[in-house]
């Protein structure tokens, strides 16, 4: 009985390599989101382990596994019923479309113009769902590995546009060693709301402990009240 109770209390925390939100540094998962998530988990007194995988795998694990917390995940209508949503872990940001600056043939004044171009996205990502919902499936080039590959595809001409959070894009540029003025933001897409969320078969006890710990930290002003 005791072993079963302990098993029910253990939380599998999963994330991806997505700077600056979450990433591995010498085997340790760090990042802006990670700092806030760990602060909450430690207050909750939950036994946990953070593991980092490619996003598509992370997403499937959170859909199917028991006692699982996923972060940084963007809350959006297409995902609303897929998870038990917890709390925001960072401020609201934006996702946008980027091109190579010298690709003057790639013009964007409204979203429908994007149908003419190949758009690089990560499979099962916020941008993937955003465009799928709007009927852009035939122009999407989903990459299941990592965000840096999207940027390399843009540089090599394999795609015409890359969809990315504005904050992450600057980090992706650094990772490939290219000057920022090579690229240009051509179209803002949507606000992104970074959250942590639970798989549906997560123990209600765990969910309650974590949500209460979060609310306590915000009330005590030890954690920012994110917009």
Domains 2-91+194-219 and 93-192 share a fold: yes
Rounded to two decimals, the pTM is 0.90
Tell me the fold of 93-192: D-Maltodextrin-Binding Protein; domain 2 (3.40.190)
Task: For the chain, give every domain's residue range.
Answer: 2-91+194-219, 93-192
pLDDT at residue 135 above 50? yes
Q: Are residues 33 and 15 in contact, defined by beta-carbon separation less than 8 angstroms? A: yes
Local confidence band at 169 (pLDDT 50, 70, 90 cut-offs): very high
Average of per-residue pLDDT across 19-47: 97
* DSSP conformation letters of 5-67: HHHHH-EEEEE--BTTTBEEETTEEESHHHHHHHHHHHHHT--EEEEE--HHHHHHHHHH-SS
Q: What's the confidence (pLDDT) of residue 2? A: 42
Mean per-residue pLDDT of the chain: 93
User: 223: closest CA among 37, 20, 75, 14?
Assistant: 37
Average pLDDT value for residue range 104-133? 95
pLDDT at 9: 82
What is the rounded distance in angstroms from the CA atom of residue 147 to the CA atom of residue 17?
A: 8
Confidence at residue 155, expressed as pLDDT on a 0 to 100 scale: 95
The mean pLDDT value for 131-141 works out to: 93
Tens digits of residue pLDDT in 147-158? 888 899 999 999
CATH superfamily to which 2-91+194-219 belongs: Periplasmic binding protein-like II (3.40.190.10)
């Amino acid at each position: 009985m005791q072993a079963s109770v302990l098993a029910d209390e253990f939380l599998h925390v999963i994330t991806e390599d997505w700077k600056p939100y979450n990433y591995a540094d010498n085997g340790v998962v760090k990042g802006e989101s990670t700092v806030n998530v760990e602060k909450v988990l430690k207050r909750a007194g939950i036994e946990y382990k953070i593991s980092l995988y490619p996003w598509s795998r992370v997403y499937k694990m959170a859909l199917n596994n028991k006692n699982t917390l996923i972060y940084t995940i963007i809350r959006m209508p297409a995902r609303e019923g897929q998870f038990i949503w917890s709390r925001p872990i960072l401020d609201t940001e934006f996702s946008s479309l980027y091109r190579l600056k010298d690709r003057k043939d790639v013009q964007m004044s409204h979203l429908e113009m994007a149908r003419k171009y190949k758009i690089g996205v990560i499979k099962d990502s916020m941008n993937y769902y955003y465009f799928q919902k709007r009927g852009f499936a035939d122009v999407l080039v989903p990459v299941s590995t990592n965000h840096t590959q999207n940027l390399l595809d843009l540089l090599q001409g394999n795609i015409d546009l890359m969809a990315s959070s504005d904050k992450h894009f600057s980090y992706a540029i650094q990772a490939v060693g290219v000057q920022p003025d090579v690229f240009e933001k051509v179209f803002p897409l949507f606000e992104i709301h970074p959250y942590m969320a639970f798989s549906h078969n997560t123990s209600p006890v765990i969910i309650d402990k974590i949500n209460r710990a979060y609310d306590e930290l915000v009330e005590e002003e030890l954690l920012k009240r994110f917009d």
